[in-house]
């Protein structure tokens, strides 16, 4: 019987020009034959080939500039924390706390990455940047959700729960689930922490042949953070959201130590505008900063990579001196459930795949594993923000970089986004909160500590002429998210002198 199936499989592979995948069939053990057979049978060949064809088209457009097709966003769809009144902000916050208290808010976390560049092999969320509390990114984010739920309950008298959906990859799914289990979900309820896995796609040669990583195994790679939408359908997450009555969703990336998980200001602004999709942005630090910017391309909303525009467009300024294309993407998005459902059910397959040319180890025709020294194939990735194009009512919310964006990307020794960069960004923010609350922080010399500079600040773009002495000045002051979500609840410290180092738990 199995032989017949192999005949059928071989025919199917031939139809798509992939019959080379069975070239070592007769040498394989029975277990390995089963493994390869199951892997190939589970592939939707038609879909995967379609993706490859689209990707080839994208490769032929690589390097093209989009300037002539771009338009900036209109002022009416751009909100900003700096330009809002206290009354506006309170209104936005109340709108959100109301929905949270009714259990209508879900949070999507992209946590597929390992800390490879940080020199670790475990999930990035388990990384500890060396705060006085020794908390990991996962713990800080868990406690921010707990804190936000408490704020909503205090405001409305209703105790609603936020469901946290954590997208992992094949390499991070087990350690992530285990970590939360071992730590009792950091005080969250287990049923409100849902870990799921993004999909993978085969790697292809430039000629369109799928690559064997071993004689009995395809070479596969995660399908990019935009693989989220496929995973929401395949892993039953969309169904779960529907069952729980979740109406509004915020998404973010695990590596940002300053992220306001479930930010009520951002979401409240979106609710006040009736938006179905939104992007939280920071002002671009300088014209040539290597960040994607949010704008319109051919009338559709899009994040345009810095390599896709010319310097002339990058330097264009408004009358007030701000950059025309200055809304930098930081991977924090808002969606209504209806929008996400529409995207997943109707638009997902039409999302463009992007090409990552990579050195992909492969088994050659003699059955020998070859590790190439230059790119020999492609991994196909989708980007999470590519769904903006399907939005009819889209807004952006501009926040302050030093309060909300410090991603952990590099090992110590790099010029930025290191564990020290992240740790100091958080310490500087917490010192600022206490000073605004009217507290005095007293150093070892018995004097009031001056405000430390934040590595995440707008002015700190790591230019070589930056004052590096100031970067050495650190105030050890940390506030647990359970004490304060975003600077609130600190009024009891008004007029008080607090001795450093300080950890408010």
Q: Spell out the per-residue pLDDT of the chain, length 505, in tens.
A: 455 589 999 999 999 999 999 999 999 999 999 999 999 999 999 989 998 998 888 888 877 899 999 999 999 999 999 999 999 999 999 999 999 999 999 999 999 988 888 999 999 999 999 999 999 999 999 999 999 999 999 999 999 999 999 999 998 999 999 999 999 999 999 999 999 999 999 999 999 999 999 999 999 999 989 999 999 999 999 999 999 999 999 999 999 999 999 999 999 999 999 999 999 999 998 999 989 999 999 999 999 998 899 999 999 999 999 999 999 999 999 999 999 999 999 998 888 888 889 999 999 999 999 999 999 999 999 999 999 999 999 999 999 999 999 999 999 999 999 999 999 999 999 999 999 999 999 999 999 999 999 999 876 554 444 445 566 899 999 999 999 999 999 999 999 999 999 999 9
Spatial distance between the Cα atoms of 195 and 198, rounded to a whole number of angstroms: 10
pLDDT value for 462: 46
Give pLDDT, residue 216.
97
For β-strands 204-205 and 377-381, DSSP reports them as antiparallel
Residues contacting residue 406 through CB under 8 Å, at least 6 positions apart: 256, 257, 258, 417, 421, 422, 425, 426, 455, 456
pLDDT at site 233: 95
pLDDT value at residue 353: 84
What pLDDT is attached to residue 1?
A: 43
pLDDT value at residue 470: 61
Q: What is the CB-side half-sphere exposure of residue 305 using CA atoms within 13 A?
A: 9
Cβ atoms of residues 248 and 277 within 8 Å? no
Cis peptide before 143 (omega within 30 of 0): no
Pairing label, strands 78-80, 70-71: unpaired
Question: What's the confidence (pLDDT) of residue 352?
Answer: 82
What pTM does this model have? 0.93
Residue 356 is predicted with a pLDDT of: 86
What beta strand segments (E) does 211-318 contain? 212-214, 217-218, 220-222, 248-253, 277-283, 293-297, 300-304
Give CA–CA dist 378/346, Å, rounded: 26
At 303, list the tokens.
């994040």
- 3 state SS of 238: helix
Rounded to an integer, what distance in angstroms lies between the CA atom of residue 502 and that of residue 133? Answer: 10
The confidence score (pLDDT) of residue 57 equals: 85
Q: Which residues of 163-201 are buried (b: 16+ CB within 10 A; e: fewer)?
A: bbbbbbbebbbebbbebbeeeebbebeeebbbbbbbbeb
Please list the helix, strand and coil fractions of the chain in percent, rounded to the nearest 5, in that order: 40, 20, 40
Distance CA 6, CA 342 (A): 38
Q: Distance between alpha carbon 382 and the CA centroid of its chain, in Å?
A: 13
Listed in sequence order, the residues at least 6 apart from 261 whose beta carbon sits closer than 8 Å to its beta carbon are: 107, 141, 144, 145, 148, 250, 252
CB 372, CB 362: distance < 8 Å: yes
Report CA 422 to chain centroid distance, whole Å. Answer: 16
Whole-number pLDDT of residue 188: 98
CA neighbor of 225 nearest in space, from 256, 189, 199: 199
Angle at the Cα of 218 (from 362 to 409), degrees rounded to 5?
75
């Amino acid at each position: 019987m199995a032989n017949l199936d192999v005949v059928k499989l071989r025919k199917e592979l031939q139809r798509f020009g992939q019959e080379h995948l069975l070239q070592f069939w007769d040498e394989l053990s029975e277990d390995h034959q089963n493994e390869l057979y199951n892997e190939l049978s589970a592939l939707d060949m038609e879909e995967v080939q379609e993706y490859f064809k689209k990707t080839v088209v994208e490769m032929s457009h690589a390097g093209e500039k989009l300037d002539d097709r771009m338009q900036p966003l209109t002022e009416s769809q751009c909100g900003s924390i700096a330009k809002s009144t206290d009354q506006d902000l309170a209104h936005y916050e109340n709108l959100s706390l109301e929905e949270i208290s009714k259990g209508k808010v879900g949070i999507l976390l992209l946590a597929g990455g390992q800390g490879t560049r940080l020199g670790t092999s475990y999930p990035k969320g388990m990384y500890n940047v060396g705060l006085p509390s020794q908390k990991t990114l996962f713990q800080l984010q868990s406690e921010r959700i707990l804190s936000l739920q408490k704020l909503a309950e205090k405001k409305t008298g209703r105790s609603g729960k936020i469901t946290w959906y954590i997208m992992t990859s094949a390499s991070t799914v087990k350690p992530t689930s285990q970590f939360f289990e071992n730590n009792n979900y950091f005080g969250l309820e287990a049923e409100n922490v849902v870990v799921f896995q993004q999909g993978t796609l085969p790697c292809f040669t430039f000629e369109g042949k799928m690559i064997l990583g071993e004689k009995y195994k395809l070479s596969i790679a995660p399908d990019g953070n935009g693989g989220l939408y496929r995973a929401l359908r395949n892993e039953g997450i969309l169904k779960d959201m529907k069952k729980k009555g979740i109406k509004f969703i915020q998404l973010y990336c695990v590596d940002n130590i300053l992220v306001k998980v479930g930010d009520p200001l951002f979401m409240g602004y979106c609710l006040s505008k009736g938006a179905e999709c939104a992007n939280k942005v920071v002002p671009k630090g300088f014209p040539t900063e290597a960040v994607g910017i949010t704008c319109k391309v051919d009338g559709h909303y899009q994040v345009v990579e810095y390599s896709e525009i010319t310097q002339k467009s990058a330097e264009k300024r408004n009358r007030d001196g701000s950059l025309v294309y200055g809304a930098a993407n930081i991977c924090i998005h808002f969606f209504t459930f209806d929008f996400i459902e529409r995207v997943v059910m109707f638009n997902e397959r039409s999302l463009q795949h992007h090409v990552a040319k990579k050195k992909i180890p492969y088994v050659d025709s003699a059955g020998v594993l070859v590790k190439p020294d230059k790119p020999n194939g492609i991994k196909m990735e989708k980007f999470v923000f590519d769904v903006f194009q399907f939005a009819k009512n889209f807004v952006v919310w501009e926040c302050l970089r030093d309060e909300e964006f410090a991603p952990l990307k590099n090992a110590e020794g790099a010029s930025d986004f290191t564990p020290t960069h992240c740790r100091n960004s958080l310490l500087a923010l917490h010192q600022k909160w206490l000073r605004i609350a009217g507290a005095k922080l007293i150093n070892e010399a018995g004097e009031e500590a001056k405000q430390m500079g934040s590595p995440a600040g707008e002015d700190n773009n790591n230019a070589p002429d930056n004052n590096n002495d100031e970067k050495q000045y650190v105030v050890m002051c940390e506030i647990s998210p359970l004490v304060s979500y975003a600077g609130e609840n600190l009024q009891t410290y008004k007029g008080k002198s607090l001795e450093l180092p300080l950890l408010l738990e």
